């Protein structure tokens, strides 16, 4: 393959850039992936836009910090592609399916391996900027793009709908890098993600647990009222009916994605000692089967330790093997089983020694923690 390089757009490249765009149009492609709206704007307006997106000082209020390049073949100085690398995923579009990298190869230069090379170069470029977890996506029926992503180490993370088309979202992690997680106290910044989180449970017809009533408030009230509610939950006195409770979001730090929720009861009354216990939790349906709930529970135990809680009680349906495995993996010891007459389900009650679990499991989970000791 001939050598290709990334070249920042300039006014001197206008003629070549417009010829590149016109070839896509003649090929019937009105949308050019990774073109940062070159397919919609006049060249000068587009150039001003990509230049303003380059750094924080010039970034427009509605802009996304990004670096856009023409991909030029050195031996004949021809534009063979374009690539747009987003340095942050701060809006819904980039966070859900847009990702860090968009790119295109001109129609007459396809099936020559250029797309794989462009993504590889983009990957190294972002690694050098400290972005070691790269999100890329393609439509589910775009087999060629999928192969390009997989060749570059992409791992499928989730499938999302965009304009009634299925999009596959992948992550490419730098060697030695892991996803990292943290618990945060809910705030207004995560309103949209919280709404999407609950909506995903409805979409997958999945039971909602451990969210501190978020689903009810989004249905009958507002997210803002829910924030007030969880503040009040934390200030409760222990009574026969209520106990102080702390609800937190599990955030995947690499892409700032809300992947789980945990609800920690900071004390137990007689009612909770019989059923439900100290901790309830959930992971969004598209992120299950990845071990995230174990990390969620480990971080919850760390939170319990901060409050001086020595032992925690958890329960789960006996048929819920995933949940029981999670509890046992964190040191859960089965105390008893009972029949939940309301659900007509056998329930299992476990206890975990908080200090012991936090210390003994640290080496297992430290690589996945955003805040390490």
Domains annotated on the chain, with CATH: 4-173 (3.40.630.30), 181-368 (3.40.630.30)
For residue range 323-332, list pLDDT tens digits in order.
899 999 999 9
CB 264 within 8 A of CB 241: no
What is the mean pLDDT of the segment spanning 126-152?
95
Q: How far apart are CA 222 and CA 204, in angstroms?
A: 22
Residue 236 has pLDDT above 70, yes or no: yes
Looking at per-residue pLDDT, the higher value among 270 and 96 belongs to 270
Inform me whether the pLDDT recorded for 371 exceeds 90. Answer: no
Helix (H, G, I), strand (E, B) or coil at 146: helix
The DSSP symbol for 369 reads B
Confidence band for 161, pLDDT divided at 50, 70 and 90 = confident
> What's the pLDDT at 41?
95
Q: How confident is the model at residue 160 (pLDDT cuts 50, 70, 90)?
A: confident
Q: How much is the average pLDDT of 42-68?
A: 93
Q: Report the alpha-carbon distance of residue 326 to residue 288 in Å, rounded.
A: 12
Tell me what percent of the residues of the chain surpass a pLDDT of 90: 85
Question: Is a pLDDT exceeding 80 seen at residue 373?
Answer: no
Instruction: Please report the pLDDT score of residue 372 as a whole number.
Output: 61
| Confidence (pLDDT) at 162 | 84
Q: So what's the pLDDT on residue 330?
A: 97
Mean pLDDT of the chain: 94
- Would you say 46 and 38 are in contact if contact means Cβ atoms under 8 Å apart? yes
Say yes or no to pLDDT of 203 above 60: yes
pLDDT band at 255 (very low <50, low <70, confident <90, very high): confident
User: Distance (Å, rounded) from C-alpha 75 to C-alpha 72?
Assistant: 9
Average of per-residue pLDDT across 198-213: 94
Helix boundaries (H) for 156-312: 191-203, 214-220, 223-234, 270-274, 292-306
Tokens representing residue 160 in the block: 């999302």
Q: What is the pLDDT of residue 91?
A: 80
Q: pLDDT tens for residues 274-287?
A: 888 999 999 999 99
Distance (Å, rounded) from C-alpha 101 to C-alpha 165?
19
d(C-alpha 260, C-alpha 345), whole Å: 25
């Amino acid at each position: 393959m001939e050598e290709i390089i990334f070249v920042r757009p300039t006014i001197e490249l206008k003629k070549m850039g417009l010829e590149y765009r016109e070839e896509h149009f003649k090929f019937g492609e009105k949308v050019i992936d990774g073109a940062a709206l070159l397919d919609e704007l006049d060249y000068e307006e587009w150039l001003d836009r990509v230049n303003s997106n380059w750094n924080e000082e010039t970034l427009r209020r509605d802009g996304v910090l990004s670096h856009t390049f023409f991909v030029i073949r050195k031996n004949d100085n021809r534009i063979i592609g374009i690539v747009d690398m987003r340095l942050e995923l701060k809006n819904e579009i980039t966070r859900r399916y847009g990702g860090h990298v968009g790119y295109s190869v001109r129609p007459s230069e396809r099936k020559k391996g250029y797309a794989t090379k462009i993504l590889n170069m983009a990957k190294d470029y972002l690694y050098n900027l400290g972005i070691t977890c790269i999100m890329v996506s393609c439509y589910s029926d775009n087999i060629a793009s999928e192969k390009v992503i997989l060749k570059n180490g992409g791992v499928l993370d989730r499938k999302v709908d965009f304009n009634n088309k299925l999009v596959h979202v992948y992550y490419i992690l730098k060697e030695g890098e892991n996803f990292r997680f943290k618990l945060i106290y809910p705030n207004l910044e995560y309103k949209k993600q919280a709404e999407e989180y609950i909506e995903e449970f409805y979409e997958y017809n999945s039971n909602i647990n451990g969210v501190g009533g978020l689903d009810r408030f989004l249905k009958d009230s507002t997210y803002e009222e829910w924030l007030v509610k969880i503040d009040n939950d934390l200030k409760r006195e222990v009574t026969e009916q209520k106990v102080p409770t702390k609800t937190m979001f599990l955030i995947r730090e690499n892409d700032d994605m809300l992947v789980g929720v945990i609800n920690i009861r900071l004390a137990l009354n007689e009612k909770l000692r019989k059923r439900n216990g100290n901790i309830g939790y959930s992971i969004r349906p598209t992120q299950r089967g990845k071990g995230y709930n174990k990390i969620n529970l480990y971080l919850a135990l760390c939170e319990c330790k901060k409050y001086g809680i020595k032992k925690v009680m958890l329960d789960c349906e006996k048929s819920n093997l995933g949940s029981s495995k999670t509890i046992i993996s964190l040191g859960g010891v089965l105390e008893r089983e009972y029949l939940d007459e309301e659900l007509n389900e056998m329930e299992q009650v476990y206890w975990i020694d908080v200090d012991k679990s936090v210390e003994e499991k640290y080496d297992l989970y430290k690589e996945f923690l955003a805040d390490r000791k």
